[in-house]
Structures are given as structure tokens and as C-alpha cells.
Structure 1
């Protein structure tokens, strides 16, 4: 079965307040089976829109990734990200 991924491209607008999101979202996603693949770090946009942070979480399946994103506890914490950053979040099935 192909794995699933949550991919985020994020521009943090309020770094201090965004820290709360990272502190709260990580245990939720890990508890739902996530494996962090990318969490920030250096990046260079070669084509397309510039964001200053990129994240990739791997899940056992696409269905598990969708369920994690839609999890009510995660969605409550996502409100912090909505207030403190501009983001594009994608759930995708791997190969």
C-alpha cells in the first residue's frame, strides 16, 4: 500500500506565536502515525512561489494522512497556524 504525506509550504508571519503551533501539532501528528521527513531547514525555491518553511510528514497510507489532517484535535491547533502564517497544505499519496 502506498504511503501518504502531508506537505506544507509555509510563510511564518509571527515567529513567536507560531512556536505554539509547532509545540502542539507535533505530538498530535506523531500520535496519529506521522514520521517527520522535512521540518524546516535550508531550502531554495527553483520555480514557483517562495515560502520560508517546508514540512513533510509521512504516514502509513493516504487514508491515514487524510485522517490526520482532518482530526478534530489537529484542526483546533491548525487555527494557530492560520493566525500566524500563510500556508499551502497538501495531502498526497506516494508511490
Structure 2
């Protein structure tokens, strides 16, 4: 069953954060992930949106958690942690069709 990471955070250091995206996308592909949405200008329908919002689809929970724990992701995660604030990363299970 597919799962989705729903990520939201504010970018506090754009120059440092620019080092995060390209290598992270390459790593996502290694685990069969697909970025379904990524937006720096999300529209707040309810509440206050954070600067970066993304939805990433993985083929399984195992793939999503393996990607998050992958040794290649650890230095990238450190870049994200050091260049963002108010991070929320939630793993949501898809519905069976």
C-alpha cells in the first residue's frame, strides 16, 4: 500500500537549504518515491501555511522508512534541520482502492 510523507516547514537559510533539494530527490528515486506536490507559495485555507509544503509518495511504508534512515540521507537531513524551522513530517497511509 502506498504511503505519503506530508512535509511542512519554514526555510530560515535559503542558501544552505539550496544544497538539500537535488541530492534528496535523487535519493527519493532510489526508493521508488515520487514528489506529487512541492510549493513555496501554498494557499492557507485554514490556519497559517509554512513556507515549504510537499507531498511525497512511496510504494510502501518500508520504503519510506528505509529512505529516511538511509545513511546517504543523514547529512542531507542535517542540512534541512540547520536551514529550516517548525518542521512537520508526517507519514500517512494511502487508502485501499
1:48, distance to aligned residue in structure 2 (A): 3.4
Structure 1 stretches of 5 or more lacking a match? none
| In 2: Cα distance, 1:69 partner to 1:40 partner | 21
| In 2: Cα distance, 1:90 partner to 1:47 partner | 18
1:91 corresponds in structure 2 to 91
Cα contact 1:5–1:59 (8 A) shared by 2: yes
TM-score of the aligned structures, taking structure 2 as reference length: 0.86
Q: How does 1:46-85 map to 2 (within 5 A)?
A: 46-85=45-84
Structure 2 stretches of 5 or more lacking a match? none
TM-score of the aligned structures, taking structure 1 as reference length: 0.87
Q: What CA RMSD, in Å, does the superposition of the two structures yield over aligned residues?
A: 1.5
Aligned residues: 94
For 1:42-86, what per-residue CA distance to the aligned partner results, in whole angstroms no more than 9, with x for missing partners? 311222343011011101112211221122211221100000001
Runs of 4+ in 1 over 3 A off after TM superposition: none
- SS of 1:50's equivalent in the other structure is coil
| In 1: Cα distance, 2:69 partner to 2:93 partner | 16
| In 1: Cα distance, 2:12 partner to 2:41 partner | 18
Structure richer in helix, relative to its length: 1
1:13, distance to aligned residue in structure 2 (A): 0.5
